[in-house]
């Protein structure tokens, strides 16, 4: 099928058009883009949200990236898009592929690409991603290796994406001041990837935080 990327990637209905074959094709197109634009040596960050199947889809992306010779950093847990985007900067990676459909309803999922500058992809980059992806006509056009093989060879790595992000936020915001402010907060995580971030940032002292819908 022909896939159209927006500025933040492609979205589809899970098991209808958002399938493993199409996600792998997107991963192959992304890998080809990195290889042809001198970004492959910097590697690819791969993340995902808490939607149905997101972790498995992300693993399949990582297997394709590693199969194409890219150093691949796969998140060990769901993480918000800004967290994964910052990991591009922290690791000086060539970009990030994130399995998420953002605000779309639960039956949707998506393949989001963030370039090496960690923002939204430019129209020029989007056009190249579409070109490379839509040149893939069958599973034979996709190169992948099992993730355990990628880990054993060292080309694949699990990462804790929260760590560099939290360190960066701590440089921007006076977190101890907020933690000692004595606030009482309720945070609705909406079952999403942002769960536990607010308590980790400003909880644990005089400020008390209650999270719901984890």
Task: Just list the catalytic residues.
Answer: 102
CA distance 201 to 126: 34
Query: Collapsing DSSP states into helix, strand and coil, what is residue 7?
Result: coil
In whole angstroms, give the CA distance from residue 109 to residue 89: 25
Can you tell me the distance from the alpha carbon of 19 to that of 64, in angstroms, rounded to the nearest whole number?
15
Helix, strand or coil, per DSSP, at residue 165: helix
H or E segment and range at residue 72: strand 72-75
Contact indicator for 214, 195 with CB cutoff of 8 Å: yes
């Amino acid at each position: 099928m022909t896939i159209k990327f927006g500025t933040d990637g492609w979205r589809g209905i899970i098991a209808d058009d958002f399938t493993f074959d199409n996600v792998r094709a997107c991963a192959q197109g992304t890998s080809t883009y990195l290889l042809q634009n001198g970004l492959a040596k910097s590697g690819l960050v791969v993340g995902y949200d808490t939607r149905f199947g997101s972790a498995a889809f992300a693993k399949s992306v990582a297997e394709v990236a590693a199969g194409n010779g890219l150093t691949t950093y796969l998140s060990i847990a769901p993480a918000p898009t800004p967290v994964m985007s910052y990991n591009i900067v922290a690791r000086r990676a060539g970009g990030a592929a994130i399995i998420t459909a953002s605000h779309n309803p639960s039956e949707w999922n998506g393949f989001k690409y963030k370039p090496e500058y960690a923002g939204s992809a430019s129209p020029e980059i989007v056009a190249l991603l579409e070109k490379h992806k839509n040149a893939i006509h069958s599973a034979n056009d996709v190169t992948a290796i099992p993730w355990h093989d990628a880990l054993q060879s060292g080309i694949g790595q699990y990462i804790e994406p929260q760590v560099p992000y939290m360190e960066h936020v701590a440089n921007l915001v006076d977190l101890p001041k907020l933690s000692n402010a004595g606030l009482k907060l309720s945070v609705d995580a909406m079952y999403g990837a942002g769960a536990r971030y607010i308590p980790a940032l400003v909880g644990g002292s005089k400020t008390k935080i209650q999270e719901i819908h984890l």
